């Protein structure tokens, strides 16, 4: 186990609550035992370090604090966390991820070391944060305990690390935790440096490249492509995202709830890309996305109405959603308008679950713009032959006419990571 892993799990509870501040988790450890836990609260309230120090009380004196992000060292809505750490008598500070904010980066360490506190950061901190899981019996349950695939869908390098911190098992575990935390803050880093919401696309295709199918009456129908492991991963991604977006085609074909059920964490804000579709009263009444959620979203998670970005008026959505008009005539400009709106709301990560039409727009419109309209593409490919057989049966019995093709990767896409969960292969692409 790893103290920074525990801090990361705590941070999931702050997603959607702390924005525009980053979602951060922290634990205070004394004599190998966690004595304080905390996560960042709503803006203007305590950060994760202060919450953990309050939880530890006098036990914080002479203890170590493990925090996912570099502690702040400046006055904003709240006093500096470095000040609270020093005043609490903390002896050691371990932080996994450097804050890209130039007001913080590197200055916190200097302030803490000047006060006589030992500071460890990055991968080194994550390796040193490892401990024998037989010595700690009071950890909070993992927010991903219901999933078979582990945090973010990758298996841990060392689930039962034992021995001295210098062992290869601990090094592998520490590197894995460092990777997870870096992944978690990827969108925050981008948001700080670019003042723009990070766009992460998740798509799934069959072995033959189908994303769905067209019914006999011309309507789009869903096609079950990925297995339980990939589906758990998908819900973990939702839990770390501020918002999740689908287009009208996907909404009408799949009727998704767009909440978090297969992992613990807060459900993201639901966003609908309506385009030129005007929702009817029957559609509003039948679509789950417009119904009140019966899924617990966390003890402090805000309840937000869906946001519909539309080129046309939506009279039937009055009282059911926030409607934002799209002012431009082309897709790319409207997409950038939407991102500016989300950025202004302090949203770091937008998860996009597009159908064939929307993903085609995203990839093709980006060719005419100076920069791509997306930042990361998570593409799942199923190797399960039953997916193709299912589509074949639908066509043979007349329920479907054909499959909906994935439009193909944009020329700028560069593969950076890959993983396998069951029959599903994940490849992660970034724009080159």
Which residues touch 22 (CB under 8 Å, ≥6 apart)? 40, 69, 99, 185, 188, 348
Cα 175 off chain centre by: 20
End-to-end CA distance of the chain: give it in Å, rounded. 36
Cα 272 off chain centre by: 18
CA-wise closest residue to 211 among 396, 429, 360: 360
Distances (CA, A) of 352 to 18, 173, 246, 378: 21, 30, 6, 10
Residue 427, beta-bridge partner list: 379, 418
Cα 87 off chain centre by: 34
Ranges of H-type helices in 89-136? 107-114, 122-128
For 332-371, the DSSP string reads HHHHHHHHHHHHHTT--EEEE---HHHHHHHHHHGGGSSS
CA-wise closest residue to 327 among 319, 338, 316, 315: 338
Phi, psi of 325 (to 5 degrees): -75, 140
Phi, psi of 400 (to 5 degrees): -135, 150
CA dist., res. 383 & res. 97, Å (int)? 36
29 sits in the region (left: phi over 0; alpha: psi -120 to 50; else beta) called: beta
Instruction: Give me the catalytic one of 9, 49, 70, 173.
Output: 49
Interior CA angle at 25 toward 19 and 28, to 5°?
Answer: 145
CA dist., res. 142 & res. 149, Å (int)? 12
3-state secondary structure of 45: coil
Distances (CA, A) of 111 to 81, 93, 406: 11, 12, 52
The 10 Å Cβ neighbour count of residue 235 is: 19
Active site includes 186? no
Q: To 10 degrees, what angle do helices 48-56 and 3-11 make?
A: 120
Residue positions annotated with a catalytic role: 49
């Amino acid at each position: 186990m790893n103290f920074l892993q525990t801090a990361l799990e705590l941070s999931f509870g702050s997603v959607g609550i702390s924005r525009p501040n980053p979602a951060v988790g922290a634990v205070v450890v004394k004599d190998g035992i966690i004595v304080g836990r905390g996560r960042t609260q709503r803006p203007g309230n305590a950060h994760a370090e202060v919450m953990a120090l309050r939880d530890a009380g006098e036990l914080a004196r002479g203890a170590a604090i493990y925090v996912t992000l570099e502690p702040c060292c400046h006055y904003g809505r709240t006093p500096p966390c470095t000040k609270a750490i020093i005043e609490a008598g903390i002896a050691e500070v371990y932080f996994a991820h450097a804050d890209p904010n130039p007001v913080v980066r590197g200055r916190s360490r200097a302030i803490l070391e000047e006060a006589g506190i030992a500071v460890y950061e990055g991968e080194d901190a994550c390796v040193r944060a490892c401990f024998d899981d037989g010595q700690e019996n009071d950890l909070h349950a993992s927010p991903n305990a219901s999933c078979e695939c582990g945090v973010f869908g990758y298996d841990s390098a060392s689930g039962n690390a034992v021995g001295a911190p210098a062992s290869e098992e601990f090094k592998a575990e520490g590197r894995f935790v460092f990777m997870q935390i870096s992944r978690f803050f990827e969108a925050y880093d981008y948001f700080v440096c670019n003042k723009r919401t990070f766009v992460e696309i998740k798509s799934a295709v069959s072995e033959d490249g189908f994303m769905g199918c067209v019914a006999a009456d011309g309507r789009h129908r869903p096609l079950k492509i990925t297995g339980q492991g990939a589906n758990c991963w998908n819900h973990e991604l939702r839990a770390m995202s501020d918002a999740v977006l689908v287009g009208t085609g996907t909404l009408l074909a799949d009727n998704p709830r767009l909440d978090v059920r297969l992992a613990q964490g807060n459900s993201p804000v639901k966003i609908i890309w309506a385009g030129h579709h005007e929702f009817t009263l029957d559609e509003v009444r039948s679509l789950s996305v417009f119904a009140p959620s019966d899924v617990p979203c966390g003890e402090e998670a805000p309840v937000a109405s869906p946001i519909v970005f539309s080129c046309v008026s939506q009279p039937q959505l009055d009282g059911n959603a926030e409607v934002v008009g799209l002012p431009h005539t082309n897709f790319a400009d409207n997409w950038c308008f939407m991102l500016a709106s989300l950025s202004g709301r302090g949203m770091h990560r937008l998860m996009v679950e597009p159908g064939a039409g929307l993903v085609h727009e995203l990839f093709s419109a980006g060719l005419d713009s100076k920069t791509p309209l997306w930042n990361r593409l998570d593409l799942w490919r199923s190797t399960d032959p039953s997916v193709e057989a299912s589509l074949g049966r639908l066509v043979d019995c007349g329920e479907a006419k054909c499959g909906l093709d994935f439009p193909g990767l944009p020329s700028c896409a560069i593969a950076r990571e890959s993983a396998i969960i069951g029959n599903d292969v994940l490849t992660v692409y970034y724009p080159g």
